[in-house]
Amino acid sequence: MAAEIVNPPSDTDAAQDEFFDPAFALHRGGKMAVQSTVPVRDADDLSLAYTPGVAKVCSAIAEQPELVHDYTWKSQVVAVVTDGSAVLGLGDIGPEASLPVMEGKAILFKQFGGVDAVPIALDCREVDEIVETVVRLAPSFGGVNLEDISAPRCFEIERKLQERLDMPVFHDDQHGTAVVTLAALRNAAKLTGRGLSELRAVISGAGAAGAAIAKILLSAGIGDVALSDRKGIVSADREDLNPAKRELAGLTNKAGLTGSLESAMAGADVFIGVSGGTVPEQAVASMAPGAFVFAMANPTPEIHPDVAHRYAAVVATGRSDYPNQINNVLAFPGIFAGALQVRASRITEGMKLAAATALADVVADELAADKVIPSPFDERVAPAVTAAVAAAARAEGVARR
């Protein structure tokens, strides 16, 4: 969700600005705080919560390190890590400016998944610096959620961290978006009597989200998918591709499409937008009958819903004021809750596919063109995703309880 950049209130006019702008009023002082789960009412409570009682627990953990999961919050807390290089629709605004978003992410973890989370904004940009910093912080956490880190560095950071850490590492901008997109697409196909294998998709955007969506759609069995970046379709004959896009070129685009996004949309069954910009109406009109348009850029979708509805059977956006919102909050709280519940060592492709299926199934009996995905406030979502992810972790042998 992109935010409008406005001038912050100064010390002298803060009260007046807050009166007119509720965003500043809500954020003043931050959006979260630490709260004790045990009473500290008297000397006896203090002696148990801190010294000398705490020494017994520390000694036990020193002798049996696995006890840290039972006697601290480690197994239920996630580090939300960013460098502020790709924040929402704001881009590279730096670590301090990213903190309101990271706080917001943390409260969504708690509100929608019952998972505690701590915002960590890092003042470094080199891949290895970020990796080493997170590795050193890892003993305090049960998982790592990477957030708003620019591509292609985000791919390497996630890979290197998962190689080093025996805990879930999840870049939500990639995988959360991909899980929710797949869930909505499953239901759109079901609603129109088709299978994923019958569909050809075109993705506008070959960054973190686009790459992850393409990969999960391929894992789920889509017929074909092609990605487009600023220079056109990502294809094997292009010589300007970085290693991440070169890998994508080898995995996608079975049809061998080249040229522009608009040309690839001709006859396509699915458009997925994760890049911004504007797609001409004639390109939408050239899609196959009964097409699906998931235009997810915020605040302005690549294709306005009113235009998309002229040609598409199902329309989704990233906005909360239209039906079928593709919102990551439908995925990441339950995914982490399930992974932490069984102390999973990682989040596998199978766990992500299970999350997408569970999410789609929440509204399987209520399908309509304006309801192929649940509302973020549907209380069935988090329990369903949590249970599915935990079961998948056990089935894939990455669970430790």
- Provide the annotated active-site residues: 50, 105
What's CA 245's distance to the chain center, in Å?
20
Maximum distance among all alpha carbons in the chain?
74
Q: State the Cα–Cα distance between residues 228 and 19, nearest whole angstrom.
A: 44
- ∠ Cα 368 374 375 (to 5°): 115
Q: State the Cα–Cα distance between residues 221 and 194, nearest whole angstrom.
A: 13
Residue 343, token pair as written in the block: 């102390």
Specify which residues 232 forms β-bridges with: 229
- C-alpha dihedral (317, 320, 324, 325), degrees to nearest 10: 60
Residue 173, annotated as binding a ligand: yes
Residue 7, annotated as binding a ligand: no
305 prior amide bond cis, ω within 30: no
Place of tokens 């080249």: 258
Specify which residues 317 forms β-bridges with: 295, 325
Q: State the Cα–Cα distance between residues 385 and 397, nearest whole angstrom.
A: 18
Residue 298, annotated as binding a ligand: yes
Kindly report the three-state secondary structure assignment for every residue of 311-334: CEEEEEECCCCCCCECCHHHCHHH
Residues with Cβ within 8 Å of 262's Cβ and at least 6 positions away in sequence, in order, are 279, 280, 282, 283, 286
How would you classify the pairing of strands 232-233 and 224-229?
antiparallel
* Length in residues, the chain: 401
Residue 357, token pair as written in the block: 């299926």
H-assigned helices in 140-199: 153-164, 172-191
Specify which residues 119 forms β-bridges with: 80
* Residue 335 main-chain phi, psi, to 5 deg: -60, -50
Return binding residues for (S)-malate: 298, 327
Return binding residues for a divalent metal cation: 147-148, 173
